[in-house]
Amino acid sequence: MKQFTVPIIYRSPLIAAIKNKRKGLDKLKKDFSATLLDFGSIQIYLARHFGFCYGVENAIEIAFRTIEENVGKRIFLLSEMIHNPQVNADLLKKGVQFLQDTNGNQVIPFETLSKDDIVIIPAFGTTLAIEKKLTEIGISSHTYNTTCPFVEKVWNRSEQIAKNKYTVVLHGKPSHEETRATFSHTSAHTATIIVKNMEDAIALSKYITGDKNGDSFSAEFADKCSYNFDITKDLDRIGVVNQTTMLASDTQKISDFLKAVMLKKYSLDDSNIEERFADTRDTLCYATLDNQSAVYGLLDIEADLAIVVGGYNSSNTAHLVELCEAKLPTYFINDEEKIISKKSICHYYNKTEITTTDFLPKKNTLKILMTSGASCPDALIEGVINKLISFFDTSTTIEELIKNLKK
Residue 59: CB partners within 8 Å, gap ≥ 6?
A: 81, 82, 122, 123, 146, 148
Residue 404, CA atoms < 13 Å, CB-side half-sphere: 9
CB 157 within 8 A of CB 104: no
Rounded CA-CA distance 384/360 in Å is 14
At 239, phi and psi to the nearest 5? Answer: -145, 140
Using CA of residue 199, residue 282, residue 319, residue 44, what is the dihedral sign? positive
Q: Regarding beta strands 330-333 and 192-195, do their DSSP bridges make them parallel or antiparallel, or are they unpaired? A: unpaired
Task: Give, as one character, the DSSP assignment of residue 33.
Answer: P
Rounded CA-CA distance 353/176 in Å is 21
Q: Where are the beta strands (DSSP E) in 212-287?
A: 238-242, 277-278
> Has 275 been annotated as catalytic?
no
Question: Which is catalytic among the residues 57, 131, 178, 336?
Answer: 178
Nearest to 176 by CA among 85, 246, 108: 246
Rounded CA-CA distance 323/247 in Å is 9
Amino acid, res. 332? F
Rounded CA-CA distance 143/254 in Å is 36
Residues with catalytic annotation?
Answer: 178
